[in-house]
Amino acid sequence: MTNPNATELKKPPSKSKGILSDIRYFFLSNPKIKTLVKFEVEGERQKYTNRILQRTGIGVDKYKMLNIHKIGVEAPASYLFEELLRWNGESNCWPNHIARLKLLDSELKKISVSLFGLSRYFLNPKNGKSRFQFLQLFNLDAIKIQRIPDPADNDNARFLLYKCSGGYPIGVFSMYVRSSIPEIGETELSQLFILVGFNFYGKESLSEVTFLNKTWEAIHNRVTTNIAHRLKQLSEWRFEQIQNPPVELM
C-alpha cells in the first residue's frame, strides 16, 4: 500500500506527446496567474534594466523589446535552479515537438532550436560553401551560467544567460532564480524570471512595426507564461517529493 496522503501531494505537469498537445499546453492554455512584468512608465523599465546590468553584467538598454516574466515558486532557489539545469528536449516544460531543442555539446552551453526538429540548408550555388539555414528558430550560446550564488549576493541568485541568434530575433535570453524578498511583498520561497531582450532581426527600426511587435508579443508571452507555470509546478512537485517521499507499507 502507498502513503494514504499521496493523493494530496502535488503533481508534475503533463508531458506533451506531440504537436497538437504542444499547441494545447503552450499556446492555447491561459493560466489565471499572469507572469508578464508590465512597465507602466519608462522609469519602471529603466529600474529593471539597471538591475539586469548589475546582476548579470549585460546591458539591455539597447534592445527595443524587453520582455520579463516573473513567477513565485514554493521551492528553494537551489531546487528551482536544479530544475533549470535539467532543461533539455525531454523537459515537460518546453514545447519540444514544435520547437525542438538540442544540446550541441551535451551540456547547456550551446543549444540549437529548430522548427519541428527540421533543419535544412541552402547552399550558395557559386561555391557551395556559404549556407543559409532554413527552419532554424534560434541558437543559444551561453554568456554565463551562474551555478553558485555570488558571495556578495544575499538572495541566492543563480542564472542561465545566453546570446540568442539565428532566425529568431537576435538578442539575449536568460532564466534567473533568486530567493524571495518579503519586503517587496514576495511570499513564496523563490522567484523565477524569464527574460528576453532584442531588436527584431538586429534592427531597432523593425521593432517599431506594430504588427511585428504585437504578433511576436502575443505568441511569446502566452508560451512563456505556460513555461513559467510548468517550471513552477514541476519544481514544487519535486521539492514536495523530497520532503514527503512515498512510503510503502508492508
> What burial class does residue 8 get, using C-beta atoms within 10 Å of its C-beta: 0-12 exposed, 13-18 middle, 19+ buried?
exposed
Q: Whose grid coordinates read 553558485?
A: 148
User: In terms of C-beta distances under 8 Å and separation of at least 24 residues, what long-range contacts does 77-80 make, across chains too?
Assistant: 77/155, 77/156, 77/157, 77/158, 77/177, 77/178, 77/179, 77/189, 77/190, 78/156, 78/158, 79/235, 79/238, 79/239, 79/242, 80/177, 80/190, 80/192, 80/231, 80/235
Inform me whether the pLDDT recorded for 31 exceeds 80: yes
Backbone angles phi, psi at 135, to 5 degrees: 75, 5
Q: How confident is the model over 51-65, as a mean pLDDT?
A: 91
60 touches 49 (CB < 8 A): yes
**Is the pLDDT score of 4 beyond 70?**
no
Mean pLDDT within 122-128: 48
Residue 39 to residue 56: CA distance in whole angstroms: 20
**Per-residue model confidence (pLDDT) at position 133:** 52
Domains contained in the chain, CATH given = 18-38+59-243 (3.30.530.20)
Contacts of 116 (CB under 8 A, 6+ apart): 19, 97, 98, 100, 135
Q: What is the mean pLDDT of residues 31-60?
A: 92
- For 105-122, how does the pLDDT look when each residue is reduced to its tens digit (9 = 90+)? 778 999 999 888 776 544
pTM of the predicted structure, to 2 decimals: 0.87
> What is the mean predicted confidence (pLDDT) over 159-183?
91
The CA distances from residue 79 to 55, 73, 177, 191, in Å, are 20, 10, 10, 12
Average pLDDT of the residues in 209-233: 91
Percent of the chain at pLDDT > 90 equals 56
Q: How confident is the model at residue 162 (pLDDT cuts 50, 70, 90)?
A: very high
* Average pLDDT, integer, range 23-33: 95
| Cβ-based burial of 172 (10 A; exposed 0-12, middle 13-18, buried ≥19) | buried
Identify the residue whose cell numbers are 554568456.
Answer: 143
Whole-number pLDDT of residue 6: 44
* Cα–Cα distance for residue pair 227/195, rounded to 1 Å: 12
